[in-house]
């Protein structure tokens, strides 16, 4: 057990950059880590506040129905569902595809200890989200119901066991996707398609539930039955926490722990075989000599960066899911008009907001699709090749920007055309609907490059660390959100100003911002890149 804890501690310290921050003698590095920690803490406070507000709004509706238990049931189901989604496409990299596999497996520890530490790392990553969602929901429930002392005890106990079953299900599905795709030549592409298919199937299932929202909000019993049938552990959780029943509490804990222990044991006994099966790839025995083609330095770097992007299913999934959601939303608006959607979501002003702020709303999805915020860190130990390459460093950086635009702009244009049809926009509105998001795509890509230059991470052992957990990704995403919240807030406050004039002003500001960023990268790329 001590080996499991030691391995987990080392992995977590390495994942979040704490090890370097704690032991570095560089004052600038310590200051950077302190500022980053303060920013992350502030962001966490904002997220927890938003979670509390959302839970409180739901509690008001459930209080009128006399079904306050539904608050914890829904939030517990949401926590499990989101944990499942996020674990599906990162479990493979955390458990099997870590870069230091040979080094770790050569250590004088048992294979079961290595597996236990990797699974425990997944658990720790998931428990953070559970705390963010469930603690505010539990606080709202306590405020509204004023329960007995057993509520707090049972709530805290069960909180630790919520992520266990979703981790098991997500890991099994993620491993099956990786194993099935590895049987084919285009294994990465098939893995990406299958993972997207799983996510879209669950999204469509949630949309079907949305279609019954009126029935669900009016009749709490039907809502409870649907949730309990979808995830039976929810019923045990509600009986234990809300009704203080000991038997459901013990059953909930027993099922979660025993399933988790059985899963870890089976995985430990077959770990090497599973790793071999998942990392085996299809190769063709036929090789044909073809004419060699030459290209410019920028084209060669762009193709190299694009190949690197396509080689990681986690990279593709994490940075393109926003664009997929944008496309799904654009298609759905062809069949459900904005007014009806606003009534279904109980946001009467949604139609007005979409017509007035559609370019900013579309740009929100672009902020979720930044590939450049981790592209430099992903070079890892191969960074010296780019640093010694006989090309300008601005060319290297702009090739990474070009890949980001390749991911976002085509889907953006298709979605923009679909939104023009569904929202029946005029000619000026249509132009702005395309121009402003494209400008935000350029802005986000260049901001991501600069942030990653300032906050690189080359000591990672798993791509999850860089793509999902690095400071550069969080900071660039936060900057993107701020750059959208400010003009959106100004549009709401200055509602008397004509929407066209306001959007034109935003467009000119974004043109200026993109120009400044382009000039800064072009001028300082050599210095910033060599300082890495």
Say what the pLDDT of residue 509 is. 92
Q: Give the position of tokens 């977590």.
A: 12
In a domain, 419, yes or no: yes
In a domain, 188, yes or no: yes
Q: Are residues 507 and 447 in the same domain?
A: yes
Burial class (CB in 10 A: 0-12, 13-18, 19+), 355: middle
86, pLDDT greater than 70: yes
pLDDT in tens, 291-327: 777 778 888 899 989 888 887 777 887 888 888 888 8
The confidence band for 333, taking pLDDT boundaries of 50, 70 and 90, is: confident
Nearest to 258 by CA among 120, 172, 165: 165
SS3 24: coil
Say what the pLDDT of residue 338 is. 58
**Cα–Cα distances in Å, from 487 out to 42, 436, 459, 515?**
21, 12, 37, 19
Please give the Cα distance from 433 to 513 (Å, whole number): 18
- Residue 64's domain comprises 2-279
In a domain, 284, yes or no: no
Please give the structure tokens belonging to residue 504.
């034109």
Say what the pLDDT of residue 17 is. 62
Please give the Cα distance from 220 to 231 (Å, whole number): 17
207, pLDDT greater than 50: no
Q: Are residues 223 and 188 in the same domain?
A: yes
Say what the pLDDT of residue 496 is. 64
Q: How many helices (H) and strands (E) does the chain have?
A: 26, 0
In a domain, 476, yes or no: yes
In a domain, 404, yes or no: yes
165, pLDDT greater than 60: yes
Q: Are residues 273 and 159 in the same domain?
A: yes
Nearest to 125 by CA among 77, 90, 158: 90
Q: Are residues 207 and 314 in the same domain?
A: no
Please give the Cα distance from 338 to 284 (Å, whole number): 50
Average pLDDT of every residue of the chain: 78
In a domain, 13, yes or no: yes
Q: Give the position of tokens 């950077």.
A: 32
Between 32 and 352, name the one with better pLDDT: 32
In a domain, 53, yes or no: yes
The confidence band for 277, taking pLDDT boundaries of 50, 70 and 90, is: low
2, pLDDT greater than 90: no
Please give the Cα distance from 231 to 239 (Å, whole number): 14
Q: Are residues 368 and 411 in the same domain?
A: yes
Burial class (CB in 10 A: 0-12, 13-18, 19+), 369: buried
Please give the Cα distance from 146 to 157 (Å, whole number): 19
Q: What percent of the chain has pLDDT over 70?
A: 76
Q: Are residues 132 and 209 in the same domain?
A: yes
Please give the Cα distance from 324 to 333 (Å, whole number): 14
Please give the Cα distance from 411 to 328 (Å, whole number): 11
Please give the Cα distance from 487 to 484 (Å, whole number): 6
The confidence band for 216, taking pLDDT boundaries of 50, 70 and 90, is: very low
Picking from 26-30, 153-157, 343-347, 430-434, which range would have the lowest pLDDT averaged per residue? 343-347
Say what the pLDDT of residue 508 is. 92
Please give the Cα distance from 495 to 313 (Å, whole number): 43
Q: Are residues 309 and 272 in the same domain?
A: no
Task: Please answer whether residues 223 and 210 qualify as being in contact, where contact means their C-beta atoms are separated by less than 8 angstroms.
Answer: no
The confidence band for 212, taking pLDDT boundaries of 50, 70 and 90, is: very low
**Cα–Cα distances in Å, from 104 out to 8, 25, 141, 186?**
12, 27, 45, 29
Say what the pLDDT of residue 309 is. 87
Please give the Cα distance from 502 to 215 (Å, whole number): 40
Say what the pLDDT of residue 226 is. 63
The distance from CA 459 to its chain's CA centroid, rounded to whole angstroms, is: 21
What size, in residues, is the chain? 532
525, pLDDT greater than 80: yes
**Cα–Cα distances in Å, from 329 out to 201, 283, 335, 360?**
15, 38, 10, 15
190, pLDDT greater than 60: no
Between 371 and 335, name the one with better pLDDT: 371
Q: What percent of the chain has pLDDT over 90?
A: 10
Q: Are residues 273 and 307 in the same domain?
A: no
Burial class (CB in 10 A: 0-12, 13-18, 19+), 21: middle
Nearest to 202 by CA among 356, 101, 295, 78: 78
220, pLDDT greater than 70: no
Please give the Cα distance from 64 to 51 (Å, whole number): 21
pLDDT in tens, 460-487: 777 777 887 777 888 888 888 888 888 8
Picking from 11-20, 121-130, 166-175, 227-236, which range would have the lowest pLDDT averaged per residue? 11-20
Q: Are residues 216 and 346 in the same domain?
A: no
pLDDT in tens, 398-416: 999 999 999 999 999 998 8
Q: Could you give the number of structural domains in the chain?
A: 2
Mean pLDDT value of segment 17-35: 68
* Segments in 96-230 forming alpha helices (H): 101-105, 111-145, 149-159, 164-182, 187-211, 213-218, 220-230
Picking from 8-22, 100-114, 297-311, 472-486, which range would have the lowest pLDDT averaged per residue? 8-22
The confidence band for 516, taking pLDDT boundaries of 50, 70 and 90, is: very high
420, pLDDT greater than 80: yes
The confidence band for 439, taking pLDDT boundaries of 50, 70 and 90, is: very high
């Amino acid at each position: 057990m001590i080996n499991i804890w030691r391995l987990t501690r080392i992995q977590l310290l390495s994942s979040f950059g704490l090890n370097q921050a704690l032991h570095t003698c560089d004052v600038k590095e310590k200051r950077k880590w302190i500022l980053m920690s303060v920013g992350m803490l502030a962001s966490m406070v904002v997220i927890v506040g938003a979670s509390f507000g959302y839970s409180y709004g739901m509690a008001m509706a459930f209080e009128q129905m006399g079904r306050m238990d539904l608050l914890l049931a829904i939030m517990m189901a949401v926590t499990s569902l989101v944990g499942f989604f996020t674990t599906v496409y990162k479990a493979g990299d955390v458990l099997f595809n870590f870069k230091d596999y040979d080094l770790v497996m050569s250590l004088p520890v048992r294979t079961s200890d290595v597996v236990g530490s990797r699974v425990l790392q997944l658990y720790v990553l998931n428990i953070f989200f559970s705390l963010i969602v469930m603690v505010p929901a539990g606080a709202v429930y306590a405020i509204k119901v004023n329960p007995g002392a057993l509520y707090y005890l049972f709530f805290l106990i069960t909180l630790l066991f919520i992520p266990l079953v979703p981790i098991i299900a997500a890991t099994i599905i993620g491993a099956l996707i990786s194993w099935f795709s590895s049987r084919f030549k285009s294994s990465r592409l098939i893995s990406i398609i299958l993972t997207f298919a799983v996510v879209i199937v669950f999204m469509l299932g949630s949309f079907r539930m949305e279609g019954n929202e009126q029935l669900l909000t009016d009749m709490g019993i039907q809502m409870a039955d649907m949730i309990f049938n979808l995830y039976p552990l929810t019923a045990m959780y509600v009986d234990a926490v809300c009704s203080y029943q000991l038997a459901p509490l013990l059953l909930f804990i027993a099922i979660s722990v025993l399933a988790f222990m059985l899963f870890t044991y089976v995985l430990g006994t077959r770990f090497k075989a599973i790793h071999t099966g998942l990392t085996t790839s299809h190769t063709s025995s036929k090789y044909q000599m073809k004419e060699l083609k030459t290209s410019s330095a920028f084209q060669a770097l762009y193709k190299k960066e694009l190949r690197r992007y396509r080689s990681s299913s986690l990279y593709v999934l994490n940075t393109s899911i926003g664009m997929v959601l944008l496309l799904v939303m654009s298609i759905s608006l062809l069949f459900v008009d904005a007014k009806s959607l606003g009534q279904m979501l109980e946001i009467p002003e949604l139609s007005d907001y979409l017509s007035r702020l559609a370019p900013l709303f579309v740009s929100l999805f672009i902020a979720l699709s930044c590939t450049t915020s981790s592209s430099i860190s992903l070079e890892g130990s191969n960074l010296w090749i780019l640093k010694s390459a006989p090309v300008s460093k601005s060319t290297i950086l702009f090739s990474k920007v070009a890949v980001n635009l390749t991911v976002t702009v085509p889907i953006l244009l298709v979605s923009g055309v679909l939104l023009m049809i569904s929202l029946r926009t005029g000619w000026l509105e249509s132009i702005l609907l395309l121009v402003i998001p494209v400008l935000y795509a350029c802005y986000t890509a260049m901001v991501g490059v600069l942030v990653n230059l300032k906050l690189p991470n080359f000591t990672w052992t798993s791509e999850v660390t860089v793509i999902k957990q690095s400071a550069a990704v969080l900071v660039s995403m936060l900057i993107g959100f701020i750059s959208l919240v400010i003009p959106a807030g100004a549009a709401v406050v200055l509602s008397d100003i004509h929407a066209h004039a306001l959007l034109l002003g935003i467009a000119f500001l974004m043109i200026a911002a993109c120009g400044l960023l382009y000039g800064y990268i072009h001028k300082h790329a050599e210095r910033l890149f060599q300082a890495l």
